Structure 1
Amino acid sequence: MTAELDLFYAPPHGGWTVDDLPAVARTTDRRFELLDGSIIVMSPQTVFHARVKRRLRDVLATQAPGGMDVELEMAVQITRKSAPEPDVLIYRDDYDDEEALISFEDVVLAVEIVSNESEERDRFTKAFRYAVAKIPYYWRIERYKDDDKRLRAEIHAYELDTSAGKYVPAAPPERERLVVDLGFPVEVDVKALYP
C-alpha cells in the first residue's frame, strides 16, 4: 500500500503523461485517470452510477451506426498530460483489441455520470477539456429524487459550439425521454436508466 500511495502522491517532475499510464496501472488495481498531469484515483462506484452507466451503454449500442462503438471507461487521450475516462463514450471504431487509449479525434460523445466525489471534475474540468478537444457532444447525468424520494437520472445534453469553443445545450435537461441527433438519431428513455 505504501508504494501505491507514494506513486500517487509523488508525481515525476513535470507531472504524469500518457506514457506513464501502463507503469501506473501495474502498481494498482484501483481505477484512475490522468488529468492535467495528475493521477486522479476514482472512488468506488455506487449502484446508481454502475446501473445508469451499463443501461445507457446498452441503449446507445443499439442505436450507434456501423463503424461506431460504445464503451465504458476507456481512456481518451486529449493531450500528453490528459487522458480522462468518460463513463460512457461513442467513438469511431478503428482500434485493435490491444489499444488502451482512444484518440479524442475519434470520440463523438463523452458521458459523465456525476457522483459526490466527481462533481467539479465532471461539471467543469472534463467538460472544458472535452470542448477544447472538440468532442462534438457531451452529456452529464445528474441524480435527483422524485416526489416519492426515489433516486432518478436527469440527462444534460450538450453540443459543441465550434465558433465559441464551448458546449451549449442540445436539449433542455431531460428526466423523461431524450431525443437528439449525434450525426445519427438517438432516443433514450431516461426513466428506464434508474432504478
Structure 2
Amino acid sequence: MTALPDWMRPPRAEGWFAEDLDRLPEAPRHTELIDGALVFMMSPQRWWHGHLITMLTVALMEQAPAEFRVGREMTIKLDQRNRPEPDLLVTTASFEGDRTWFTAEEVSLVVEVVSPESAHRDRTVKLRKYAEAGIPHYWCVEDEDGSPAVHVYELDEPTRAYAPAGIYRGSLRRPVPFAIELDLDALIPPRGGNGSGG
C-alpha cells in the first residue's frame, strides 16, 4: 500500500478548515471540504453532466439581471469546516478575478447536477448544509433517461430547511431569484448521429 503524500495529511487533529483549501495546490481540481474532510471528484466526468452544466450556465447568464453573476467551479464557505463546490451558482458578489470562494450570504442559488458518485451528497448532505447556511434557492438536477429533471427547493427561513417548490421536466419557469425561463429539453442535444455534420 502506498503511503499518503504529505499534502493529504490534515494540518491539525481536528481535520481541515475552510482556508486550508487555498493552500493545497497539489489537490485535484474539484476538491471540496465536507465536515472537515477533503472530498475529491476522481471519477471521469460524463459528457451529459458537463454539457448540461455549460448550457445551464449560459442560459442563466443570458437571463440574469445586472446585479447577479453566474459562476461555476467555485466553492462556498458555509462555515469553518464546510466549503463545498457546487456545479454552478448565482451570486450577488462583485466580480473579483482572484477570488476562490464565496460566503453563503453572497449566494442566491446553488445548482447541483447529480452524478452517480455525488448523488448521496447532492440529495441529502448538501441539501441540508446549504439550507442551514441560509442559501435561499437550491436546484438538484437529475438525469431521467437522458433528460434533465430539476428538483427546486426554497428556503423556509424560520426552520432553516428547504421546502420542495416543484419538479420541472421539459421546461422551467421560476420568478426567483430572478425571472427564469428554461427549455430543459433544448439543453441536451438529441441522441444519435455521429456529429460529423454530413
Q: TM-score normalized by structure 2?
A: 0.88
Instruction: Give the 5 Å matches for 1:26-105.
Output: 26-42=25-41, 43-105=43-105
Using the alignment, how far apart are the partners of 2:130 and 2:27 within structure 1? 27
Report the alpha carbon displacement of residue 184 of structure 1 after superposing the two structures with TM. Answer: 1.8
- Indicate the percent of aligned positions where both proteins have the same amino acid: 37
Q: Which residue of 2 aligns with 1:163?
A: 158
8 Å contact 1:141–1:153 — kept in the other structure?
yes
Report the alpha carbon displacement of residue 93 of structure 1 after superposing the two structures with TM. Answer: 2.7
Gaps of 5+ in 2: 190-198
Question: Against the structure 1 CA distance between its residues 5 and 168, is the aligned structure 2 distance closer, same or farther, given a 3 Å change threshold?
Answer: farther
Using the alignment, how far apart are the partners of 1:61 and 1:177 within structure 2? 17
CA-based RMSD of the aligned residues comes to: 1.6
Runs of 4 or more consecutive aligned structure 1 residues displaced over 6 Å after TM superposition? none
Report the alpha carbon displacement of residue 38 of structure 1 after superposing the two structures with TM. Answer: 0.6
8 Å contact 1:4–1:27 — kept in the other structure?
no
Report the alpha carbon displacement of residue 32 of structure 1 after superposing the two structures with TM. Answer: 0.9
Q: Which residue of 2 aligns with 1:180?
A: 174
Using the alignment, how far apart are the partners of 1:88 and 1:64 within structure 2? 14
Question: Against the structure 1 CA distance between its residues 186 and 16, is the aligned structure 2 distance closer, same or farther, given a 3 Å change threshold?
Answer: same
Report the alpha carbon displacement of residue 3 of structure 1 after superposing the two structures with TM. Answer: 7.3
Using the alignment, how far apart are the partners of 2:22 and 2:178 within structure 1? 35
8 Å contact 2:88–2:110 — kept in the other structure?
yes
CA shift digits 1:69-102 (9 cap, x unpaired): 0011211010011111110100013241111111
Q: Pick from 177, 180, 183: which aligns with 1:189?
A: 183
8 Å contact 2:152–2:165 — kept in the other structure?
yes
Question: Against the structure 1 CA distance between its residues 14 and 188, is the aligned structure 2 distance closer, same or farther, given a 3 Å change threshold?
Answer: same
Give 2:165's aligned amino acid: A
Gaps of 5+ in 1: 146-150
More helix by share: 1
2:142 partner SS:
strand
Give 1:19's aligned amino acid: E
8 Å contact 1:144–1:152 — kept in the other structure?
yes
Using the alignment, how far apart are the partners of 1:47 and 1:84 within structure 2? 22
CA shift digits 1:17-61 (9 cap, x unpaired): 12211222x113442111110100013311011001000000000
Report the alpha carbon displacement of residue 7 of structure 1 after superposing the two structures with TM. Answer: 3.6
2:80 partner SS:
coil
Greater gyration radius: 2
8 Å contact 1:112–1:141 — kept in the other structure?
yes
Report the alpha carbon displacement of residue 6 of structure 1 after superposing the two structures with TM. Answer: 5.2
